[in-house]
């Protein structure tokens, strides 16, 4: 066997593998003998059919299988030993004159090579590092929401825009018969709203479903209909009101504070406001960090110049997925994925050049932290370490989940590195202003 690599240019190469009979014949002979021992043919005892007959039936099939094994193993070993940094996978070159009844074979594979380049982290422009604060207005609104959520429902005679109504939606033709509770303020459109305001228990309201709520998913919830078709649902329903209530906000006192913070960490309105501010700004920091990473990524992709083996990658994309693509489809797919590929290469280069590594123990700790926060949201603030380890182990056995957590941890490490090495313009803004500036 002989393996050679010829560079077409800096980004493309061809590997040629020459196979002779000595590379595969012994295994072919052994397999032929094994099949002969199992073979049953008319006129011969089991295992005593002539080898020529066995060869006629099976030799090409066995040669094909064994040669392909030799080629694949040799190619993988060669690529590993040569430490080639590839994009995509090797593509076999089609040889129209190839014959399996020969004794010697030549196979060629196209390679797409990763480019060599440097990443300059110093001239970062147009990147702003935001510090987001919670306004008093936002905090007061959140406190009002908490009071409403933990408030009491008191019956009232007639509905106003602040009332809640419980009743039954009916449309016999569509087999709708669903009891639901909704807030009058959720009703969309003045004509519909006017029907609810002043209504009382026992009243029957005739309503059109189209545009009844701003969000069609709310319509799906109150009518109990499938998601399919709910966006286009346009029928009349009757709504028979059973009860009208108003929400009496929970008072800001000990009972509410204990429901919210069983550990006794909050005992006054001022402490509640401070805790909400702390939690909100921690979430805002995550938004700001993601925006900063996105902006840095965009800047690095724009300013780090290198070529890619585009023709090879488009050819590879034609057969890389489960469904074969046309040349035009592969070109379109490449256009969509090129930016992500460029950042992948930049990310890898930054990590290698700056010795940024990801150890498995770090991934386990990161997974446990994520699980701990999820459990805290469900009320379990002090999970056992063994329980965390068991759940983390199961999560990381799921390849998709492990990959997602690994990507998040890499982004976290890179952002910490960028913050240390780069200089940014900084800006302090409210969350509302941040949304306007970043997502406008």
> Which pLDDT does position 398 carry in this prediction?
93
Q: Is the pLDDT of residue 408 over 90?
A: yes
* 2-113 classified as CATH 3.30.70.1050: yes
Mean pLDDT of 271-276: 95
Domain ranges of the chain: 2-113, 152-248, 268-438
Q: CA end-to-end span of the chain, whole Å?
A: 62
Are 356 and 417 in contact by the 8 Å Cβ rule? The answer is: yes
Residues β-bridged to residue 86: 113
What value, to the nearest 5°, has the Cα angle with vertex 103 and ends 101 and 104?
120
pLDDT tens digits, 289-328: 999 999 999 999 999 999 999 999 999 999 988 789 999 9
Mean pLDDT of 198-210: 95
* Cα pseudo-dihedral 52, 56, 60, 65, rounded to 10: -70
Least confident of 111-115, 131-135, 371-375: 371-375
Distance CA(106)–CA(233), nearest Å, equals 63
Report residue 79: phi and psi, to 5°.
-65, -35
Mean pLDDT for the chain overall: 93
Distance CA(86)–CA(80), nearest Å, equals 11
What's the CATH code, domain 152-248? Answer: 3.10.50.30
> Which pLDDT does position 123 carry in this prediction?
64
Distance CA(355)–CA(349), nearest Å, equals 10
Mean pLDDT of 123-138: 89
> Which pLDDT does position 21 carry in this prediction?
93
Element housing 86 (H / E): strand 86-92
> Which pLDDT does position 378 carry in this prediction?
76
> Which pLDDT does position 160 carry in this prediction?
95
pLDDT tens digits, 145-194: 999 999 999 999 999 999 999 999 999 999 999 999 999 999 999 999 99
Residue 362 CB: number of other CB atoms within 10 A? 14
What value, to the nearest 5°, has the Cα angle with vertex 285 and ends 282 and 291?
155
- Crossing angle of helices 399-421 and 327-353, in 10° steps, is 60
Mean pLDDT of 405-413: 95
Distance CA(177)–CA(205), nearest Å, equals 14
> Which pLDDT does position 247 carry in this prediction?
93
Please report, for residues 305, 306, 375, the alpha-carbon distance to residue 331 in angstroms, rounded to integers and kept in the order given. Answer: 21, 19, 45
């Amino acid at each position: 066997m002989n393996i050679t690599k010829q560079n077409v240019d800096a980004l493309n190469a061809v590997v040629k593998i020459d196979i002779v009979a000595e590379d595969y014949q012994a295994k072919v002979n052994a397999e032929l003998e094994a099949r002969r021992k199992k073979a049953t043919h008319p006129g011969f005892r089991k295992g005593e059919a002539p080898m020529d007959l066995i060869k006629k039936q099976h030799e090409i099939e066995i040669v094909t299988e064994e040669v392909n094994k030799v080629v694949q193993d040799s190619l993988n070993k060669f690529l590993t030993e040569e430490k080639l940094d590839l994009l995509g996978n090797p593509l076999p070159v089609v040889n129209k004159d190839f014959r399996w009844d020969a004794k010697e074979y030549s196979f060629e594979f196209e390679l797409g090579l990763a480019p060599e380049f440097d990443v300059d982290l110093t001239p970062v422009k147009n990147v702003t590092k935001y510090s987001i604060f919670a306004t008093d207005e936002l905090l007061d609104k959140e406190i009002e929401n908490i009071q409403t959520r933990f408030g009491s429902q008191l019956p009232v005679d007639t509905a106003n825009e602040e009332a809640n109504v419980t009743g039954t939606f009916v449309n016999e033709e569509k087999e709708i018969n669903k009891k639901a509770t909704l807030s009058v303020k959720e009703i969309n459109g003045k004509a519909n709203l006017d029907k609810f305001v002043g209504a009382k228990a026992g009243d029957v309201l005739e309503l059109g479903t189209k545009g009844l709520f701003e969000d069609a998913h709310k319509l799906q919830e109150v009518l109990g209909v499938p998601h399919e078709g709910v966006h286009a649902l346009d029928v009349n329903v009757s709504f028979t009101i059973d009860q009208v209530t108003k929400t009496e906000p929970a008072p800001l006192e000990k009972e509410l504070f204990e429901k919210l913070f069983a550990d006794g960490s909050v005992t006054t309105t001022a402490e509640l406001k401070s805790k909400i501010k702390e939690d909100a700004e921690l979430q805002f920091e995550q938004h700001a960090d993601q925006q900063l990473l996105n902006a840095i990524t965009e800047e690095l992709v724009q300013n780090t110049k290198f070529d890619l083996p585009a023709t090879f990658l488009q050819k590879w994309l034609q057969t890389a997925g489960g469904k074969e693509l046309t040349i035009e489809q592969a070109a379109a797919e490449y256009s969509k994925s090129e930016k992500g590929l460029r950042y992948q290469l930049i990310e890898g280069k930054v990590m290698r050049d700056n010795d940024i590594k990801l150890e498995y123990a770090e991934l386990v700790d990161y997974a446990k932290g994520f699980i701990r926060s999820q459990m805290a949201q469900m009320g379990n603030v002090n999970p056992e370490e063994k329980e965390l380890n068991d759940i983390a182990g199961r999560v990381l056995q799921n390849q998709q989940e492990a990959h997602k957590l690994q990507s998040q941890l890499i982004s976290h490490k890179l952002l910490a590195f960028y913050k240390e090495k780069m200089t940014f313009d900084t800006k302090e803004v409210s969350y509302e202003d941040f949304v306007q500036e970043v997502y406008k």
